[in-house]
Amino acid sequence: MMPDLLAGFAALVLLSVAAGLARVLRGPTAADRMMAAQLLGTGGIATVLLLAAALDMPAAVDVALVLALLAAFAAVAFVKGASPEGTGDPEEEA
Amino acid sequence: MSAWDLFTLAAVAAGAFFFLAGTVGLLRFPDVFTRLHALTKADNLGLGLIVLGLLPRAEGVFGALKLVAVWLLALLAAATVAQLVARLARREGDAGA
Amino acid sequence: MTALYLLDLVLVPAILLAACTAVGTRDRFAAVVSFIVYGLLLAIAWVRLGAVDVALAEAAIGAGLTGVLLLGALARMGRRADEAAAAGPPGRTLRLGAAALGAAVAAGIAAAVLALPEPAPQLSGAVAEALPALGLGNPVTGVLLAFRGYDTLLEAVVLLLALLGIWSLAPDPAWGGLPGLRHRARPEGVLAWLGRLLPPVGIVVGLYVFWVGADRPGGAFQAGTILAAVWILAVMSALVEPPAVRSLALRLALVAGPALFLAVGFAGLGLAGAFLGYPAAAGWAKPLILLVEAGLTLSIAATLALLVAGTPERAAG
Amino acid sequence: MTSAATLYGLAGAALVGIGLYGLAVQAHVLRKILAFNLIGSGVFLVFGAVAGRGGGAGGGDPVPQAMVITGIVVALSATALAVALALRLFRETGRVTLPPDPPAGARDG
Amino acid sequence: MADGLADGPWAELLVALPLAGMLLALPLGGRQAHRLALLVLAAGPVLALLLAAQLWQGGVVGVALGGFAAPLGIALRADGLSVLMLLTTAVVLCATGLAARAGFAPRPGQGETRAGLLFWPLLLALWGALNAVFLGNDLFNLYVALELLTLAAVPLVCIEGKPEAVAAALRYLLFALLGSVLYLLGAALLYGAHGTLDITLLAARLQPGPATWMAGALMTAGLLAKTALYPLHLWLPPAHAAAPAAASAVLSALVVKASFFILLRLWFDVMPALAGLGGATLLGGLGTAAILAGSLLALRQERLKLAIAYSTMAQLGYLFLMFPLAGGGTEAQPWSAGAWTGGVLHAVSHALAKAAMFLVAGLVLQAAGHDRIRALQGLGRAMPVAVFAFGLAGLSLMGLPPSGGFVAKWLLLTAALASGQWWWAVPMLAGGLLAAGYVFRLLNPALSAGEGQGWRPVRRRWQAIPLALALLSVALGLAPLLPYLLLGLGRSPAAEEGLG
Amino acid sequence: MTDALLPALVLATSLLPALVIFLLPEPAWRLRTAVNLAGAAAKLALVVVMLAGVAGGATYELRLPLVPGLDLLLRVDALALLFVTLSAFLWLLTTIYAIAYLGDGPDQSRFFGFFSLCVAATTGIALSGSLITFFVFYELLTLSTWPLVVHRGDAGSLAAGRRYLGYTLGGSAALLLGILWLESASGPVEFTAHGRLVGLDAGLLRGCFLLMVGGLGVKAALVPLHAWLPAAMVAPAPVSALLHAVAVVKAGAFGITRVVLDVFGPGLVQELGLGLPLAVAASFTILYGSLRALAQSDIKRRLAFSTVSQVSYIALGLALAGPVAAVGGLVHLVHQGLMKITLFFCAGALAETLHAHRVEELDGAGRRMPLTMLAFSIAALGMIGVPPMAGFVSKWWLGMGALQAGQPWVLAVLAGSSLLNAAYFLPLLHRAWFLPPRDAEAPAVPMFRREGDWGLVLPPVITAAAALAAGLFAAFAFSPLGWARLIIARDYGL
């Protein structure tokens, strides 16, 4: 019962954030696409946590941990990637 | 189904709702900054609630700590990144104007 | 658990959608973002399949490092003059032909997958049987470091070779110098702050993933990737500079893992009677495996970080 | 479990097809590299299906899982080298695509 | 003493030693790397000969790495085919290493340079990868070895940093990656169907079925892309022509043979029953197309290295004729494995000859600063030994006696005629004539009397390296019995009985 | 022991000098000359030893297995000796001539290296005991001749070289296909046992015969496969001698001989109905070559077309299938070699000393170079078939053989050919002996000093003498004719 419900919620969370793909596609600015990815990242972390609980697979929490860490990493790369030559800092130029 | 289970379900359901809200905001709000606003609020709260809900099922204190660490990390990343993205969006806007 | 199928029903279409977006969209940035999302979804899929080791690797490497690599390259190749766009969209014939080819191959593979025999022949039993002798709890680590250690050794060399290949693209005057361009960040800005905050956390997480690898999902590759990622973050935050490629310490770090692996392998010739073998005496195998893993973690972290950092372009200061 | 694994195997098959399409259609080198990674992960999913069908605890057969990890690392290595080559090509020639056809008739080069 | 030879870990060392050398070369740095590399390379022929002795004495050499027997572990296996390829590889790499000193050894008083350092570990890794392929008995391990090979070979193409080389390297890499990923997919399906990727076990367990059939098709397609069989050859000529000569020598002589070797293992050892007549005929047909197209294109080239590269494309075509011709003979004929043996001998003699040709091309570039065929007048006088070596190597390509190419072609032709499939003989003979056309087209200006230009002098000892390789390829034609007998050791039954 | 050693030694006497000479630096001409002459002399000596042995019934055999089904086999039989004696003898003389001819020209190490290699190949062809061995040396000959043809390295030489290769390699491919086709049905073919082919499909046999003779016909310059030969005239004179008399053309004719006599056997050739077509082709070539020769005003080209014509006597003799005709064909192998090499030696000397390349430039040559012209005249008369010259002997036996075989039309061919021969040789002799020199400036040098280098004079004189002797002493057992009769007697079991 409980695992089923948790898995159901995992599906729900995933479904709602997956809709964010539309924003990735549509943009219009790079910032929009990044935000959508960010949302998907967080939602993905939530999905993994729920799955870990549903499948009773505590090791999967580590995956969420790594995803959380790398979400920050990827986001920095996004921001960097939007600057010329990929080396800038939006704050610096602001 | 125990009380903890009910707590878990309630918290998780609330979390899922925030994710849904965040997505709707991301898709429906008119410009970058409002979307950003919707996003940061939604996903941090959403993830937080889900972590909260799962805490009772965690594997000991260490497992619980890990769960919290996941949330904190995500929060940290989201906060800083939101800031950077906002700056970027403003610059892009400037450039576009 | 029927609700899991609900998840499958969301996850699989999402993965395919993200893949289509990554391939089909005009905007290159959108394509790379889609690809990163795709990697994330794949990591979830691996969790769903119960393969947590793979999920860790996919999360760290597939979504993380590959995405960063592509993003960085995109930024440098930029939105400047672009004959790919100038040439216009691919021709209709090409698209149709490619679609037909893709569909045919996919259909063939699908048919083959569906035709796989039941019950599935497998080696889980053999692995489980041989694992206790090594003192390991994680069968995947057992396969990677012992049963198929030879593959892993070659793989570590592959990684190093990729780095040598990237280095070989350096302009001659810059040889021995620093990889990539110099990153900038406002000293008191958010970026620098994040760059200072995350690495300690990341190092802890990385070491944790390395340490649990012997008994639970995790291990050298995943840990090395995490360590590499935080280091790259520090570089992007302009907190540290990548080392000059002529640095002896760097080179030693790069070769330490595979060299250690080889050395243990040679020792196995004497101690276990087989190259890459571990002594049968109880309690010997696990420390040796951990030793090799530690070396590999160091080398993989260094190699991956420099892979992302790129070709040496600046003379050493 | 078995049928789920097969489902992901089918997804892998589809991904290979999508990746092949991208490899053929996209001219930009980075897009080709990206498409190659799609094919790669599709193949890994097929491996995953093979492993998962094995049933058992923790994702079934560990041998294909280990192979996938190896494959992921190898794919990353190759991607990194390809990206570096693409960047070098861009820096040298300003091109982001491969020359249309190799010099078949070969005038002096 | 004899027992000692039979027991040594030669197979393991053949893989481990190059890798160890590569790992050591990096921290040693550019002033020492080439010395270390040459030292390690020099051990190659010795190790290969020791392994040959081991094979000769004790039959097929099998090594369970780590002491874990297949299917759990990975095995190395050395039969006659492996050993012959290992020997060829060791010899060609030794020669190439010596020849490469001209371009990649540091000059006195010079610090570490990029190419001066990196060439050597890349070369060692390439050698290790080739050995791993030739010894591999596990299809997934072969995938890793192939990737190792690719990642060592691609940087060698563009190590001189010319823009066209970078483009060629990138194209090469993309083709190679596509090839290996298709191969890997096939491996996945095979594992799914049979629960092992060990070649010996697979051969015993193989059940025909859609999964197996699809796996075979995918792996074959992937390996064909890596072997540059027509029409998947597009990457080869630019890559092999743009690489520095020493690298081209290795690429053309050996690297493309590695994927072909796996193809042989796949078709003859793993799934002979599945290769219906149609598949074998298709491969033979593509091989024929490669022979004709490659030779005609080679005839049209203006530049020496491109011409040699297109000749590689053509020569690779011959290898594929062994699929329809394998077996084939009546039982009364002693050469029933003739086509298979002929194909392998062709691979070996082509390796030696082609390496010699590319090394000569390197000397030409060194002496003239260009390799435009028309402008090579007087070359014969400037470096007669090198031109002679080129001519000798050309013999092997033309399949004329006395050369290894002749014996190989004789075996293939005999198999074709003896099995009544005379139509395969026509492209073989035509290919030989076309090869004569392009070889002599290259020799013509070299022998013409016009002084052409001022040639930078090239020492005789540099010219002696390609000559040695060319002489070996000729010697293979004069004494082919030893390799012939060697190839009989551990040969798969399908090589004798034919496919399908 | 010696039995296997001798063929190897004979081969080595030209192979080793070749390798040594390749390595010699250009200025070491003394050493090169010494090696050359020593090799040639040693070969001749060894051949004499074998001659004695074979006459006494000994056989020499050397077998080198390559792979199963592919053995290299050297076997010395009477026919082999006929050819090897000729080539060994002529090689010695050609070497002397070539050393004098090339003087101090460039690239001599290369030239003499390939020159020796060429002779090694010819020796191999002569001694081959099996079809595939024959093919191996036949190819070696092609390849080692090419650098000699293009030796001068000018555009003309290179073009001739291309044409030479195009023809000969095409021929080789046909030959190889024929050999392999035959062997795929019969197993390895050696030149000893007859009857191996009996019972094989006639179509297959005909196809193989056509391919093999067609392939060999290229080198033997059968029309229409002859065009490379006149083109190759751009090569230095010693090379022409080699092409026309010692090695290349002879190798083709010798190959046809082997195929007819020792592979198929004359009986089978007739049975398959292959003799007549071959005879017709040969006859056509004889007449066509002579006609073309008549039309040439360049001396060497005239000689070249004369070769096209004369060599086909050999094929003609064998095609007629009777023992008498076969003797005629075989003996012509030797006679034509002696006569034609004399002609080319002389032509080369005339070109070197008098710069006479064209027919009309020969005016008065007899007065200025009497010895050379004497030799030339003897050879030319022999070619025409004036009794008792060597050419007459050949033609006599051919004619008799034709009658014996019931092919009287061949007599007409022979007669026509002789008339044509006379028509293109006699004017040369007339100009040389009876017309005054064109440029009036009379040579002030005394007799015999005008002839030029003795190395250019002595060889033609010797070969002319030999040609004369071959005709005069044809009845002796060790004469070429005697030897040819021995061969045919053994082959026909008479």
List Cβ neighbours of E424 (8 Å cut-off, separation of 6 or more).
E284, E288, E321, E324, E325, E412, E416
Q: How many CB atoms lie within 10 A of CB F198?
A: 12
Q: Which two tokens mark F371?
A: 């010895």
CA distance E310 to E332: 39
CB contact under 8 A, D76 and C61: yes
Q: Which of D43, D63, D88 sits opposite E184 (nearest CB)?
A: D43
Averages of pLDDT over runs of 10 residues in chain F (494 residues) are 78 90 85 91 92 81 86 89 91 91 84 92 93 93 91 87 92 93 86 76 92 93 89 87 84 92 87 91 94 91 91 91 88 92 91 85 84 92 88 91 90 92 92 79 54 84 92 84 85 68
**F201 phi and psi angles, rounded to 5 deg:** -55, 130
Are C132 and C202 in a shared domain? yes
Give a yes or no: residue A22 inside a domain.
yes
How confident is the prediction along chain A (94 residues), in pLDDT tens digits per residue? Answer: 788 888 888 998 999 888 888 888 887 877 888 888 888 888 999 999 999 988 888 889 999 999 998 888 888 888 777 777 777 777 665 4
List Cβ neighbours of A68 (8 Å cut-off, separation of 6 or more).
A45, B70, B73, B74, B77
Give the orientation angle of helix D62-93 with respect to helix C149-167, to 10 degrees.
10
**B58 phi and psi angles, rounded to 5 deg:** -70, 160
Domain count for chain C, please give it. Answer: 3
Domain count for chain D, please give it. Answer: 1
Give a yes or no: residue A31 inside a domain.
yes
Mean predicted lDDT score pLDDT of chain C: 88
CA of C156: which chain E residue's CA is closest?
A: E148
* Angle of CA points F130, E401, F94, to nearest 5°: 85
Give a yes or no: residue C82 inside a domain.
no
CA distance F2 to F76: 12
pLDDT at site E425: 92
What are the CA-CA distances from residue E466 to residues E95, E213, E346, E359 (Å)? 8, 43, 18, 6
Residue F476 DSSP one-character state: S
CA distance F177 to F192: 21
CA distance C249 to C255: 10
Residue ranges of B 41-80 with Cβ closer than 8 A to chain A:
42-44, 46-47, 50-51, 54, 57-59, 63, 66-67, 69-70, 73-74, 76-78, 80
CA distance F116 to F405: 41
Q: Which two tokens mark F491?
A: 């082959």
Of the residues A21, A40, A67, A70, the best mutation for testing chain C's interface (the one with the most C CB atoms within 10 Å of its CB) is A70
CB contact under 8 A, C194 and B80: yes
Q: Which of C191, C228, C213 is nearest to C291 (CA)?
A: C213
Q: Which of C113, C254, C274 sits opposite E64 (nearest CB)?
A: C274
Tally A–C CB contacts below 8 A: 208
Residue D20 distance to chain C (closest CA, Å): 5
The H-or-E segment that residue C178 falls in is strand C178-179
Residue F444 distance to chain E (closest CA, Å): 37
- What range defines the domain where residue C208 resides? 123-317
Give a yes or no: residue A44 inside a domain.
yes
Q: How many CB atoms lie within 10 A of CB E276?
A: 12
CA distance E47 to E14: 7
Task: Inform me whether the C-beta atom of residue B10 falls under 8 Å from chain C C-beta atoms.
Answer: no
8 Å CB contact between F135 and F191: no
CA distance F289 to F303: 10
AA letter at B58: A
CA of A47: which chain C residue's CA is closest?
A: C44
Give a yes or no: residue D39 inside a domain.
yes
pLDDT at site D107: 36
Note the pLDDT tens digit of each residue in D36-52. Answer: 999 999 999 999 988 88
CB contact under 8 A, A76 and C189: no
8 Å CB contact between C56 and C144: no
Give a yes or no: residue C10 inside a domain.
yes
List of E strands, F148-278: none
CB contact under 8 A, C194 and B73: no
CA distance E17 to E6: 19
User: How many Cα atoms are found within 13 Å in the side-chain-facing hemisphere of F38?
Assistant: 13
AA letter at F48: V
CA distance F383 to F386: 8
Is it the case that chain C and chain B have 3 or more CB pairs lying under 8 Å apart? yes
AA letter at C159: L
- What range defines the domain where residue D41 resides? 2-93
Q: What is the largest CA-CA distance in chain F?
A: 73
Which residues does chain C have within 8 Å of residue E118's beta carbon, measured at their own beta carbons? 164, 167-168
CA distance E225 to E230: 9
Give a yes or no: residue D102 inside a domain.
no
Averages of pLDDT over runs of 10 residues in chain E (500 residues) are 68 95 92 93 95 92 90 94 96 95 86 90 96 96 96 95 91 95 95 92 88 92 94 92 94 96 93 75 94 94 94 95 75 66 94 96 90 86 89 91 90 87 91 92 81 76 93 92 89 80
CA of E294: which chain D residue's CA is closest?
A: D104
Which residues does chain E have within 8 Å of residue C273's beta carbon, measured at their own beta carbons? 67
**DSSP one-letter string for F45-88:** HHHHHHHHHHHTT--EEEEEEEETTEEEEEEE-HHHHHHHHHHH
CB contact under 8 A, F153 and E447: yes
pLDDT > 70? residue C46 = yes
In whole angstroms, what separates CA E159 from the centre of its chain? 21
CB contact under 8 A, C205 and A65: yes
Min mean pLDDT across A83-87, B93-97, C312-316, F462-466 is at B93-97
Q: Which of F85, F80, F59, F78 is nearest to F483 (CA)?
A: F78
Give a yes or no: residue A90 inside a domain.
no
Higher-confidence position of E442 and B39 = E442
Residue C164 distance to chain E (closest CA, Å): 7
Calculate the CA dihedral of residues F80, F81, F83, F84 and round it to 10 degrees: 110
CB contact under 8 A, E181 and D23: no
CB contact under 8 A, B73 and A65: yes
pLDDT at site D55: 59
8 Å CB contact between F150 and F117: no
The H-or-E segment that residue C312 falls in is strand C312-314
| Domain range list for chain E | 275-336+360-500
CA distance E223 to E181: 10
* Angle of CA points E232, E235, E240, to nearest 5°: 130
Domain count for chain A, please give it. Answer: 1
pLDDT at site A88: 74
Q: What CATH number has the domain bearing residue D72?
A: 1.10.287.3510
pLDDT at site C83: 52
Is it the case that chain F and chain B have 3 or more CB pairs lying under 8 Å apart? no
Give a yes or no: residue D106 inside a domain.
no
CA distance B90 to E299: 61
Are C169 and C304 in a shared domain? yes
What are the CA-CA distances from residue C193 to residues A76, B78, C199, C233, E2 (Å)? 12, 14, 11, 11, 68
CA of D77: which chain E residue's CA is closest?
A: E151
Which residues does chain D have within 8 Å of residue E170's beta carbon, measured at their own beta carbons? 29, 82, 85-86, 89, 98
pLDDT at site C208: 92
Can you give the three-state secondary structure of D59-83, one letter per residue?
CCCHHHHHHHHHHHHHHHHHHHHHH
Calculate the CA dihedral of residues E446, E448, E453, E459 and round it to 10 degrees: 40
CA distance D52 to D6: 8
Whether the bond into E71 is cis, omega within 30 of 0 = yes
pLDDT band at D106 (very low <50, low <70, confident <90, very high): very low
Is it the case that chain F and chain A have 3 or more CB pairs lying under 8 Å apart? no
pLDDT band at C89 (very low <50, low <70, confident <90, very high): low
Higher-confidence position of F440 and D106 = F440
pLDDT band at D33 (very low <50, low <70, confident <90, very high): very high
Calculate the CA dihedral of residues F183, F185, F187, F190 and round it to 10 degrees: -50
Residue B81 distance to chain C (closest CA, Å): 9
Are C63 and C101 in a shared domain? no
**E370 phi and psi angles, rounded to 5 deg:** -155, 175
8 Å CB contact between E41 and E97: yes
pLDDT at site D109: 33
Interstrand relation of F60-67 and F70-76 (parallel, antiparallel or unpaired): antiparallel
Residue D16 distance to chain C (closest CA, Å): 6
CB contact under 8 A, A12 and B16: yes
pLDDT at site C263: 94
Residue ranges of F 6-45 with Cβ closer than 8 A to chain E:
22
Which residues does chain C have within 8 Å of residue E159's beta carbon, measured at their own beta carbons? 168
CB contact under 8 A, B50 and A1: no
Residue A88 distance to chain B (closest CA, Å): 11
Residue E111 DSSP one-character state: -
Note the pLDDT tens digit of each residue in C238-275. Answer: 888 888 888 999 999 999 999 999 999 999 988 888 89
Are C158 and C304 in a shared domain? yes
Give a yes or no: residue D33 inside a domain.
yes
8 Å CB contact between C134 and C289: yes
pLDDT > 50? residue D104 = no
Is it the case that chain D and chain C have 3 or more CB pairs lying under 8 Å apart? yes
CA distance E456 to C257: 46
What residue has token string 């998840």? C7
Of the residues E373, E406, E424, the best mutation for testing chain F's interface (the one with the most F CB atoms within 10 Å of its CB) is E406
Subunits in contact with chain E (3 or more CB pairs closer than 8 Å)? C, D, F
Task: Inform me whether the C-beta atom of residue F359 falls under 8 Å from chain E C-beta atoms.
Answer: no
8 Å CB contact between E305 and E240: yes
CB contact under 8 A, E191 and D47: yes
Residue B77 distance to chain C (closest CA, Å): 8
